[in-house]
Amino acid sequence: MLNTRYTHIHDKVNIGKAVYMPYVLMGYPSLEGSVAAAKALIDGGADGLELGLPFRDPVADGPVIQDAANVALDNGFKADDAITFIQQVRAYAPGIPFTVMTYFNIVLAKGIERFIGALSKAGCDGILIPDLPPEHANDVYPITQAHNMELIFIVAPTTYAGRFEKIRPYAGGFIYVVTKMGTTGMKEDFDSDLKTLFTEIKAQINLPAIAGFGISTPAHALDMVKKGANGVIIGSKIIQLCSDNFKEGVLSPAPLQEHTKKIQASLVA
């Protein structure tokens, strides 16, 4: 068992509370803007952050995140900027878990050992690689372990019992639950048998089940928790708030803070 900041969310979940871990795309709307956005989310009461690395071919994401990633990359964002980003935001929030979300090719190109080592040193607690299936997890797992980083896995409505067997030996931190089939974005109809899915996950793996994909409002968040989620992740809506509140190169933090407070309030309700 590693000693990471995920204990922060585990402690909260263990006393029956739900957690909120919003998603920031590093480098969007600008490098400084994304640092400001992360700080606003922290000020609003985020229990952890998911930090996206811009990739031009993000097949698990919808158009909102893809377009934002292209903006970040067109602005000159490089993978090494993630290290600076994490150092800055870590200094601002010493205690909450940071999960980097990145497609595998970036890690491969930067060098698995070198990049994961640098992320860890900067203050990152875990890494979620949506296009790394458990069949290939061992390419990364010994390295994340050596650097005290958890490997985070996705579970979808199509994940059947046999696949939990493959995920279980590697999974740490939390389980990212894809609440419907598709990509990230703002779809509002949730699969009706989510209760069964959350029950199944909890029976299979002893980690918090955090719902992502298609959540944007306090009502969605509450609905997920009522169906059995231990918390929620919001991504595309945060991107949209960043975009709407970025004027003349400066991000206004207030709307992001307000949104975070509203989500947190809904989870307590």
Partner 1 sequence: MPILEELLAGFRKYEHDSSFQNEFLRLMEDWGGRPTPLYHAQNLSTAYGAEIYLKREDLLHGGAHKTNNALGQALLAKKMGKTRIIAETGAGQHGVATAMACAKVNLPCTVYMGAVDVARQAPNVQRMKLLGAEVIAVTSGGATLKDAINEALRDWIASCNTTHYLLGTAAGPHPFPTLVKHFHRMIGEESRAQCLEKIGKLPDYAIACVGGGSNAIGLFSGFSEDQDVRFIGAEPGGEGLDSNRHGAVLVKGTPAVLHGMRSLALQDEDGQIQDTHSISAGLDYPLVGPEHAYLRDIGRATYTAITDEEAVSAFYELAALEGILPALESAHALAQAKKTAKEHPDCTILVNLSGRGDKDLEHIMAYAEAQKNA
| C-beta neighbour count of 240 within 10 angstroms | 14
- The structure tokens listed for 264 are 């947190």
Q: Give the residue, chosen from 64, 107, 175, 263, that forms a contact with partner 1 under the rule CB under 8 A.
A: 107
Which strands, in side-by-side order, build the sheet including 19-20?
Answer: 19-20, 231-232, 209-212, 171-178, 150-155, 126-128, 98-101, 49-52, 23-25
- The structure tokens listed for 119 are 């992320």
Q: Which stretch binds partner 1 (CB under 8 A): 44-52, 105-113, 192-200, 219-227?
A: 105-113
Residue 110 is a binding residue for partner 1 (CB under 8 A): yes
Q: Which stretch binds partner 1 (CB under 8 A): 88-96, 101-109, 117-125, 256-264?
A: 101-109
Asked if residues 115 and 107 have their Cβ atoms less than 8 Å apart, the reply is: yes
Cβ distance to partner 1 smaller for residue 114 or 226? 114
Q: Is 50 part of the annotated catalytic residue set?
A: yes
Residues 121-160, one symbol each (x = binds partner 1 by CB under 8 A, - = not), give ----------x-x-x----------------------xxx
Q: Which residue in 61, 125, 150, 200 is the catalytic one?
A: 61
Q: Which residue has the tokens 């009502």?
A: 219
Q: Which residue in 32, 43, 47, 50 is the catalytic one?
A: 50
- Cα of 163 vs its chain's centroid, Å: 21
- The structure tokens listed for 67 are 């377009």
Q: Which stretch binds partner 1 (CB under 8 A): 83-91, 181-189, 201-209, 232-240?
A: 181-189
List residues bridging with 23 in a β-sheet: 50
List residues bridging with 100 in a β-sheet: 51, 127
Which residues are at the interface with partner 1 (CB under 8 A)?
A: 55-57, 59-60, 62-63, 66-67, 70, 73, 78-79, 103-110, 131, 133, 135, 158-160, 163, 180-183
